[in-house]
Amino acid sequence: EIVLTQSPGTLSLSPGERAILSCRASQSVGGNFLAWYQEIPGQAPRLLIYGASQRATGIPDRFSGSGSGTDFTLTISRLEPEDFTVYYCQYYATSPRTFGQGTKVEIK
């Protein structure tokens, strides 16, 4: 079972700043089957990135994903007020399709 470790646990930034979130896998993620999700208060989470770097439908281009092997990054180029929430990475190449523990992006 692959374990995903996200860092930092909390990121304190101001609107307009760049956020860089990390997700490290305990083993290499074959095929870059790594996704990022955003928690939306009062709603279901939404998929931001799949295949490590492909934006899901309707996702603004300020969100970008990168990485390969065991190290992956979600970058939010300029934080908007609605971006201050929790983000999760997920390994989905094989079962069990585990989630990281989450990174909270909070307003500084």
Partner 1 sequence: QVQLQQWGAGLLKPSETLSLTCVDYGGSIRGYHWNWIRQSPGKGLEWIGEITHSGGTNYNPSLKSRVTISIDTSQNQLSLKMSSVTAADTAIYYCTRGYESDWPTSNYWGQGTLVTVSS
Q: Does 108 bind partner 1 (CB under 8 A)?
A: no
Among residues 46, 68, 78, 108, which is the contact residue for partner 1, using CB under 8 A? 46
85 touching partner 1, by CB under 8 A: no
Could you tell me the smallest distance in angstroms from the CB atom of residue 81 to partner 1?
A: 22
State how far the Cα of 94 lies from the Cα of 45, in Å rounded to an integer.
21
Full DSSP string of 25-47 = ESS--GGG-EEEEE--TTS--EE
CB of 68 to partner 1, least distance (A): 18
Sign of CA dihedral 99, 66, 21, 27: positive
Least Å from the CB of residue 100 to partner 1: 8
C-alpha neighbours within 13 Å on the C-beta side of residue 45: 16
Comparing CB distances to partner 1, the nearer of 15 and 31 is 31
Among 56, 70, 71, 75, binds partner 1 (CB under 8 A): 56
Q: Which stretch binds partner 1 (CB under 8 A): 12-20, 21-29, 77-85, 95-103?
A: 95-103
In the beta sheet, which residues pair with residue 73? Answer: 22, 66
Nearer to partner 1, 36 or 84 (CB): 36
Which phi and psi (to 5°) does residue 5 adopt? -120, 120
